[in-house]
A and B are shown apart, each in its own frame.
Chain A
Amino acid sequence: MFYFFPVSVTSYELSHLAALEAEAVHVFREVAATFERPVLLFSGGKDSVVMLHAAAKAFWPAPLPFPMLHVDTGHNFDEVLRFRDETVAALGLRLEVASVQDDLDAGRVVEETGPRASRNRLQTVTLLRAIREGGFDAVFGGARRDEEKARAKERVFSFRDEHGQWDPRAQRPELWNLYNGRHRRGEHIRVFPLSNWTELDIWQYIRDERIALPPLYYAHRRSVVQRDGMLLAATRFLSLVDGETPYEATVRFRTVGDATCTGCVESSAATPSEVVAEVAATRVTERGATRADDRISEAGMEDRKREGYF
């Protein structure tokens, strides 16, 4: 058998990516061993793709011991949905889809109106419904602490009450690699295996592990509009405001989510290595550049997390 040495024999040092991967793998296994019904949130975005990749590695040679869940706002990029379905088929995974449209149809939520309407906020209701109906007690999310200041305060195991709510002042102390997953029926734990990864770590890992992503993440020509200092994709979900004229630009996405509030950036980075170089040099955070929903208020994310969002 062929053995290779990933580390120097004498120093016994892990590279930072190997250390971050080991931490994530430990968390996946811990949850699989101690919870009854875990589920992994999968949107087809880069963080959830990396999370899925690390999860699959954690359980090799066995299959993933939990299904995946996608909360579909109905306003997703076509390329991302296609990628989602191809990934699921290729890996033989179980995927459940919870649709915001179902909650709109049933009158549990009401569609926002106006040109800046977004379904992003509505998906919290759908997510909580899916967790309840699926009886899930642990929900893996790809959120990272470097993304946003409220997320910087998150634990790896984040307790949610029967309403799915986060109470930042009553978080459980989290020490060493010991995690407290205690909960009662109806309560659940959000689990963030990528807590300590940065955007650059994610991209270096994608490059090193040769992980496939939706093509949106690499430079391509697309019709866009300028709004509030961001570039929004001119999709069928976007209503134009007076004075906005779509134009063609070479762009790529740093995050993908609901198409109505996810912006793109002008870029010529067409390969993972080029993206790594671009991310290393950028002076704007990914959410600052591309997320309209974070601009609502100083504590926009904290408020949504309190309601049950990730």
Chain B
Amino acid sequence: MQLLRIATAGSVDDGKSTLIGRLLFDSKAIFTDQLAAVERASRERGEDYPDLALLTDGLRAEREQGITIDVAHRYFATPQRKFIIADTPGHLQYTRNMVTGASTADLALILVDARKGVLEQSRRHAFLASLLGIGHLVVCVNKMDLVGWSRERFDEIREDFRRFAMKLDVADLTFVPLSALHGDNVVHRSASMPWYEGTSLLHQLEEVHVASDRNLIDARFPVQYVLRRPDFRGYAGTIAGGVFKPGDEVVALPSGITSRVRAVWGPGGTPLAEAFTGQAVTVELADDLDLGRGAMLCRPGNRAESAREVDALVCWFSSRASLTPGASYAVRHTTTETKGTVERLEYRLDVTTLHREAADSLALNDIGRIRLRTRAPLLFDPYRRNRATGGFLLVDEHTGDTVAAGMITGSVASPVVWHTAAVRREDRPTRGATVWLTGLSASGKSSVAVELERRLVAAGRPAYLLDGDNLRHGLNAGLGFSPEDRAENVRRVAEVARLFADAGVVAIASLISPYATDRASARAISGDLPFVEVFVDTPLEVCEARDPKGMYAKARAGEIKGFTGIDAPYERPASPDLVLHPADGDPATMAAAIQTLLDDLA
């Protein structure tokens, strides 16, 4: 059976404790003596119904004040799964405890009161969950009974939340309308909301696929402890990424010495054919390397980064002191501890709006970006790639307090090391290039691009169409149409096109790409590879008359904002490699013109 770790979040009084109580109660994880104690305590406080919050609020101060102060861990199981719930406080001043509970979670439950809609705290918690790398968010729209089980209200909240979540890095976002008090859609489907087509919350928790969230690619083994016997030297630790098996070639960092895995032992000496992320094992190497705690085993071709200066997002936990540039702390990272100095505080993040603000210091519960310089190099991966090698703590050396949690975004001093490939570009059978088609919506870019791809492939030249609209479903899902998002859209497509071109494929990128600077950076990204900018110069009136997707009509009606050519600018290319007008013929003819241009380059 598999374990699922859940963190709860939500504003005060949105019914979080009631929901947990309901999950535990309906899955029969509340015991009769616990319930009796809750009923007794509720009666003594003069309440006429058992307050399920008392199940999770276990501290004297919490019961006295009727709020949750610290994380409580709750456990329940169904025949499908075991669950650990970190029940975290909703109050702003306990954000650090929410972060604590969320750091190991696979999934976060965000509660929204259907009457109140998406509040600041809902946004804050969704952001924190995404910051901590929780890949699955389930938004529970609670108290649906108090809005008459209204589908419209649910849809409204869902759209509102979705708009905010677009800015976050959340891969899996689902919504459940429910009533924790009455149990609708918690464990059982609700008869009161026949319009809801999804499954109950518990069913989602049982079914959500989290195994692929772990990094099984980058092999990382921080040495935690050395086990020695006569004739035995084993490196004990928990695998932080990837898979290790006997026979694997490994490199020990920071020394850079390579060896091979002789054996992998599970706890108690179970020989393992392979071991993976999350397993606590003991690794024996073929050579006597004399490694100690803090060393890291990787693969020679895929090493963790090593740097003394890193950029990181930090969440500040201390109410006694604030984070200021120049201050030094103990840095706890994987199995090492070193000293670190905050070189710079780049900005503080407004967690609700996600705006960056200039700041001199970070106070309790603030989140900001810092540059950290450490005495010994850190062996790390960016947090986005690996929680176990990207997360760290700052500890105040005088008080011993954990004052901050940090997530490394990247290194400063040593950029990513480029690995030299064994195959040179000239060794490949074909030459690649990027064809960049720009022009207004409905100018005919896609028709030309489709035709070009067909012709090139038919002529034996590998080609691939990167269509801007299509890429927005996958690679660029989540990007909007603001100038910043358009820039990022172009950057990503240009990077992918460069990889195709490098591999010997003609990448045909078809994007409106209205800004000259974005197109210039696309050309810059392609570097020494051929790059052809084709301007499909169809007048606005013609495009608007075609309007195949009805977009212009919507933009004119004010339903779409920031539409190129209507209320957003299109900057005409100053010196494109080729200009195509409607008078130049059908798409096939235009594609032939581009093909000729490509042939001339090669």
Binding site for B on A (CB under 8 A): 1-7, 9, 11-16, 18-23, 25-26, 29-30, 32-33, 54, 56-62, 145-146, 148-150, 152-153, 159, 168-169, 171-178, 180, 182-184, 195-196, 198, 200-201, 282-285, 288-289, 298-299, 302-303
Contacts and interface: CB of A to CB of B under 8 A. Distances in A.
19 contacts: A13-B2, A22-B280, A23-B280, A29-B280, A61-B227, A61-B229, A62-B227, A149-B58, A152-B72, A152-B74, A168-B59, A169-B61, A175-B103, A177-B104, A180-B400, A196-B75, A196-B84, A288-B33, A299-B59
A288 B31 contact: yes
Contacts of B104: 175-177
Ordered nearest first, which 7 A-B pairs have the shortest CB separation?
A149-B58, A288-B33, A182-B400, A57-B268, A57-B267, A175-B103, A25-B280
Nearest to B401: A172
Contacts of A195: 73
B328 interface: no
A153 B63 contact: no
B269 to A, nearest CB: 5
A144 B28 CA distance: 20
A25 B236 CA distance: 10
Interface stretch (B93-101, B119-127, B554-562): B93-101
B1 A15 contact: yes
B272 interface: yes
Interface of B: 1-3, 28, 31-34, 37, 41, 55-61, 63, 69-75, 77, 82, 84, 96-97, 99-100, 103-104, 211, 214, 216, 224-225, 227-229, 232, 234, 236-238, 243, 265-274, 276-280, 282, 293, 317, 330, 332-333, 335, 387-388, 391-393, 395, 397, 400-402, 405
Contacts of A9: 273-274
A153 B229 contact: no
B357 to A, nearest CB: 24
A6 B270 contact: yes
Contact of B75 (A145, A173, A182): A145
Contacts of A175: 99-100, 103-104, 391, 393, 405
Q: What secondary structure prevails in chain A residues at the interface with B?
A: loop
Contacts, number: 200
B259 to A, nearest CB: 19
Contacts of B227: 59-62
Given A1-B271, A14-B278, A303-B60, 10 more contacts: A2-B271, A19-B3, A25-B267, A59-B236, A153-B72, A171-B70, A173-B96, A173-B317, A176-B104, A282-B31
Contacts of B60: 298-299, 302-303
A150 B59 CA distance: 6
B75 A60 contact: no
B272 to A, nearest CB: 7
B205 to A, nearest CB: 14
Nearest to B264: A3
Nearest to A11: B211
A26 B280 contact: yes
B56 to A, nearest CB: 7
Contact of A298 (B37, B69, B71): B37
Contact of A3 (B237, B272, B293): B272
B72 A22 contact: no
Contacts of A6: 266, 270, 272
Given A152-B74, A178-B392, A173 B402 contact: yes
Contact of A32 (B225, B279, B401): B225
Contact of B400 (A22, A30, A183, A201): A183
A29 B236 contact: yes
B100 A168 contact: no
A173 B41 CA distance: 29
Nearest to A303: B60
Residue in A7, A9, A62, A150 with the greatest tally of chain B CB atoms within 10 Å? A62
